[in-house]
Amino acid sequence: MSPRPATLRDAWMDGASRLVRAGVDDARFEAEVLLRHASGRSRGDLYANLAETVDPAAQLEFEAVLARRARREPLAYIVGRREFYGLDFIITPDVLIPRPESELVVETALEALKQQRTRRALIVDVGTGSGALGIAIAKHGRRARLVGVDTARAALAVARENATRLVPDTARSWLQADLLTAVTGPVDCVVANLPYISDETLGQLAPEIADHEPRQALVTPGGTGADLILRLLTQLGRRLGPRGIAVLEIDPQLADQVSDATRRLLPDADFELLRDLGGDERVLRIVSS
């Protein structure tokens, strides 16, 4: 007797078990996402039809994407999408995967721009990657002009595609450049999530990060992890306009070093370190004089 055809529920539970064995966190949820991706179903459609037999083509695709995830390829790269600040971003292996803790950068920038009350703020997203920070601010804030800067041409192509989809009415431009070297002031708001991982630390991270995310978006030149952030701080004094804002994500372990550098390099600016939901000093907020 031939085996009973697998239902969507069977496939989901089998996939979750496989991901558990591979050491994947939240395996049940990720198996669901992969099954929906493979079968082209919405979440509601999947849940309403769990007793339905899996289409053979969908089963083959599900097996393929499960194998990729079991090898610890990030879920976002497999499905090509990641939600960030309520927006659906296209994600490729050319860009860093946006993370929930980076939403604090967006929230902080939006609140500061509201207080700044600039009619049409110029926002510069340094190391833009997928464009997540700048696009989220442009989407949820007042009318703005957006400039995305990255050294990687492939990353800028992803950011451009996301902006076309998500903020089509926002004036925007893209620069392949090093930090703020190609940007002329005055700038109303600078946001950045620059690489702050050292070579030594990279090897201690999960394989999803260490083996798959773009190295240039993770590892900073030099030995301390703060090199790029410190270089950006040296440029802000010449780029920020009056009461201009900079919101930078940092490694909490670098908080003291970054604070000292900000005090030294921008002596007339007000700055504050903000804690994320885990209680770590994650974001540096600077307001120029």
**pLDDT per residue rounded down to tens, the chain (289 residues):** 335 568 999 999 999 999 999 999 999 999 999 999 999 999 999 999 999 999 999 999 999 999 999 999 999 999 999 999 999 999 999 999 999 999 999 999 999 999 887 778 999 999 999 999 999 999 998 788 999 999 999 999 999 999 999 999 999 999 999 999 999 879 999 999 999 888 778 888 899 999 999 999 998 877 678 899 999 999 999 999 999 999 999 999 999 999 999 999 999 999 999 999 999 999 999 999 8
Return the CATH architecture of domain 86-287: 3-Layer(aba) Sandwich (3.40)
Which DSSP letter does residue 89 get? E
Q: What is the pLDDT of residue 199?
A: 78
DSSP state of 275: E
Distances in Å between the Cα of 39 and the Cα atoms of 27, 45, 53, 55 are 18, 10, 11, 8
Helix or strand run (H / E) with residue 190: strand 187-192
Ramachandran angles phi, psi of 158, nearest 5°? -65, -45
The amino acid present at 116, given as its one-letter code, is Q
Q: What is the pLDDT of residue 202?
A: 84
* Residue whose structure tokens are 């995967």: 97
pLDDT of residue 5: 61
Place of tokens 């039809």: 49
Predicted pLDDT of residue 223: 66
Q: Which residues does 109 contact at the CB level (< 8 Å), separation at least 6?
A: 123, 133, 137, 141, 189, 191, 245, 247
Q: What is the domain partition of the chain in residue ranges?
A: 8-71, 86-287
**Of 151, 235, 251, 273, which Cα lies nearest the Cα of 202?**
251
> β-strands 281-287, 87-90: how paired?
unpaired
Q: 69 — phi, psi (to 5°)?
A: -70, -35
- Amino acid 47 reads Y
Q: List the structure tokens of 236.
A: 């802000």
- The number of residues in the chain equals 289
| Token code pair at residue 238 | 């010449």
